[in-house]
Amino acid sequence: MSSSRPSAFDALMSKARAAAKKKPQSEASPAKKRKTQELVSVKEVENASLDDAHQVFDKKSKQENVVKCGDNVGTEVLANGCKEGKVNLSLDEKLAVKKAEAVSLDESIAQLKNKPANFDPKKAAFWGEGKKVPFSFVTRVFDAVDKESGRIVITEIVCNMLRTVIQTSPDDLLPVVYLLANRIAPAHEGLELGIGDASIIKALAEACGCNEAQIRKQYKDLGDLGLVAKASRSSQSLMRKPEALTVTKVFNTFQLIAKESGKDSQEKKKNHIKALLVAATDFEPLYMIRLLQTKLRIGLAEQTLLAALGHAAYYSEKRFKPPANIDSPSEEAAKIVKQVYSVLPVYDKIIPAILTGGVWDLPKACCFTPGIPIGPMLAKPTKGVSEILDKFQDMEFTCEYKYDGERAQIHYLENGSVEIYSRNAERNTGKFPDVVSALSRLKKSSVSSFVLDCELVAYDREKKKILPFQVLSTRARKNVMISDIKVEVCIFAFDILYLNGQTLLQEQLNVRKEHLYKSFEEEPCYFQFATAMTSTDLEEIQKFLEDSVDASCEGLIIKTLSRDATYEPSKRSNNWLKLKKDYMESIGDSLDLVPIAAFHGRGKRTGVYGAFLLACYDSSSEAYQTICKIGTGFTEQVLEERSTSLRSKVIPKAKSYYRYADKISPDVWFETTEVWEVKAADLTISPVYCAAIGIVDSEKGISLRFPRLVRVREDKAPEQASSSEQVAEMYKAQKHTQKHYEDDDKDE
């Protein structure tokens, strides 16, 4: 190999050498090889849990089994098992049942990998027609999806799976879709599992008869609680299993878990999980746990599911014909389902509509409904005004202030009822009774119904000043009474999606804005239209950006006005761009900080550190003060390099001159060796970090909002990191903070 090879090649080689070196030390492999690595670990787990009898069957006899028994036998046995709570089979017989089942399941999953055009949903069902869909079917599909990396193939597998359900057990389609979507109810219904890692670890520990420390250790090693569940289960693998889990059983149990509340509710939730775990086999524990964590991480999420649902609906349709002059009916169907979901994100309505009326009429059956939230339109980040002019060349566009508050979609119905939804479609009506009561006063009398898109911003009405987001977030959230409200808000309206019974979604923004302006009365401190300006002049826009920051805003949102300017629900489309100062290179708050500790990575970061604890340096006390954690901005290569480098700097416990709160307990502590440049949007007073403690606040330190890595400062030593004084100055220099201080001075 000559030295004239491209440097990328050298990088690859050194990476390969590093990986090869690590293996014997049983270090985890690079994050990049996640899929492969996971396969290995799953396989190992599986092998470990195989009982001897299981292995008696070789592959050949498995296949014979399929051919001889066919689906019917397997299903009948399974069905019997379901009906009779007690199964009076000998151990051998039970193993045989298990075998037949597994074999047909394997065959079923193999069928799903056919191209949709060559797929026969009847051949893939290994359970009886009209019977409950086994949970194992779903988890095996998850496994099949996990092994694929291409979205197209994943969509095909899920599509075929859904067709199988539609063909065989259409009543189960809804719960199947809910599991695939990893949801338990529409977002606006506010149903929560109330289960996190801690509860799951407890349940796992009890279910496998070990202590929580052991589970936590495995979690660190495997990087996934689901894999821990899969591994742990083996300790009970010889115990008699209750009847096989079904999709509805699992889904209903999830809902039960969500509905438990009050005294001993944690205990009850835990028991539900344990009961499911005891009945789980094969891939079921793995994915059951991941579902409970709401982290499927198999490369399948909402958008892919919706596409697959569209495809499946198209292929399952014998009764209805697609519209003429359509290139690809399946892609068209996917588009329809996505569009419909963005406007009515309620599977409980969409699934029955697909089953009864097919996809082509779906937009008629499921359209925007006042009172039900639609996906808010999102904006894409841009790095500067020139990028905006570039993207919007020859387009009419307008610039608006980006307010630092809470996105709100306000529905006002004909009957006067009001609902307020968050950016994520959560119902927030009970949090903003003040907003609700103000609406009828703010709308003009000609207005009988509307859906308003706006930002609710904390507001000091005495001083007529916008307050920071951190103040807004202290508002009470549930069943708030107007008389108890301590933080007032001002509504900054910027769009209207529905007015007097008419949808405005398909109108261009300039039309919608006209409707907005003529439908509401501005009332300072209560309801204002977002400050806007239309210009194509770079310097004018730059100035407007400065103005927005001076006005305590985050920056600008730039929107097309008259062309490509319809409201695109849920889309981070190119029609809306956001421009924040900290996006721009060499602008915005940037600090040089020292990694002093780290946390083990999870998922695709298994084997490297997932996040680091950063500190600034206080020279007067010669102490390193924690300021934030950081976990984004790393390329895989940089994360690998930093992890390797810092792994050799691990110390048994924190240095005496590290200042940190006990609440933070990293997995490892480091010597101070490196300096990293970190960018942030804001500096905030923190309840847990210690930076500049005693300067701005006597007890609290300072932290960073939206921290991310910019680069490693090879040229700096830890003592040259940003100082506490610098941090404090940066905090004080912030617009809203500054004003706060001026006001304080006046008061005193």
Partner DNA sequence: TCTGACTGCCC
Partner DNA sequence: ATTCTGC
Partner DNA sequence: GCAGAATGGGCAGTCAGA
Is-contact 432 456, C-beta < 8 A? yes
Burial 280-304 (b: 16+ CB within 10 A, else e): bbbbbbbbbbbbbbebbbbbbeeeb
Active-site hit among 147, 402, 629, 700 = 402
Query: Which residues on adjacent β-strands are paired with residue 420?
Result: 410
CA-atom Rg of the chain in angstroms: 29
The least CB distance from residue 679 to DNA, in Å, is 6
C-alpha dihedral, 409 to 412 to 417 to 418, nearest 10°: 20
What DSSP letter does each residue of 186-248 carry, written as one string?
A: -GGG-------HHHHHHHHHHHTT--HHHHHHHHHHHS-HHHHHHHHHGGGTTSPP-SPPBHH
The least CB distance from residue 405 to DNA, in Å, is 7
C-alpha–C-alpha distance, residues 589 and 226, integer Å: 39
Three-state DSSP state, 375: coil
Name the one residue in this structure whose structure tokens are 């826009």: 541
Strand order in the sheet with 572-580: 378-382, 572-580, 555-560, 397-402, 532-533
The least CB distance from residue 72 to DNA, in Å, is 35
Is-contact 247 276, C-beta < 8 A? no
Cα 535 to Cα 85, 183, 398, 529, 559, distances in angstroms:
73, 44, 7, 18, 12
Largest CA distance in the chain: 90
Is-contact 596 658, C-beta < 8 A? yes
Backbone angles phi, psi at 182, to 5 degrees: 55, 50
C-alpha–C-alpha distance, residues 550 and 527, integer Å: 20
Angle, helices 265-279 vs 247-259, to 10°: value is 170
Residues 6+ away with beta carbon under 8 Å from 231: 45, 48, 49, 218, 222
Is-contact 51 237, C-beta < 8 A? yes
Which of 37, 16, 39 has the alpha carbon at shortest distance from 28?
Answer: 37
C-alpha–C-alpha distance, residues 668 and 220, integer Å: 12
Would strands 650-651 and 668-670 be described as parallel, antiparallel, or unpaired?
Answer: antiparallel
Is-contact 215 201, C-beta < 8 A? yes
Name the one residue in this structure whose structure tokens are 């069943």: 479
402 included as an active-site residue: yes
Which of 443, 448, 417, 419 has the alpha carbon at shortest distance from 432?
Answer: 419
The dihedral built from the CA positions of residue 42, 43, 44 and 48, taken in this order, carries a sign that is positive
Residues 6+ away with beta carbon under 8 Å from 550: 735
Is-contact 700 514, C-beta < 8 A? no
Burial class (CB within 10 angstroms; exposed 0-12, middle 13-18, buried 19+) of 321: exposed
Name the one residue in this structure whose structure tokens are 């089953």: 355
Q: Which one, 49 or 686, has the nearer CB to DNA? A: 686
Q: Which one, 142 or 617, has the nearer CB to DNA? A: 142
Q: Which one, 10 or 267, has the nearer CB to DNA? A: 267
What DSSP letter does each residue of 479-542 carry, written as one string?
A: S--GGG--S-EEEEEEEEEEETTEE-TTS-HHHHHHHHHHHB--BTTTEEEPPEE----HHHHH
Query: Would you tell me how many other CB atoms lie within 10 Å of the CB of residue 354?
Result: 30
Name the one residue in this structure whose structure tokens are 């319809």: 566
Positions marked catalytic: 402
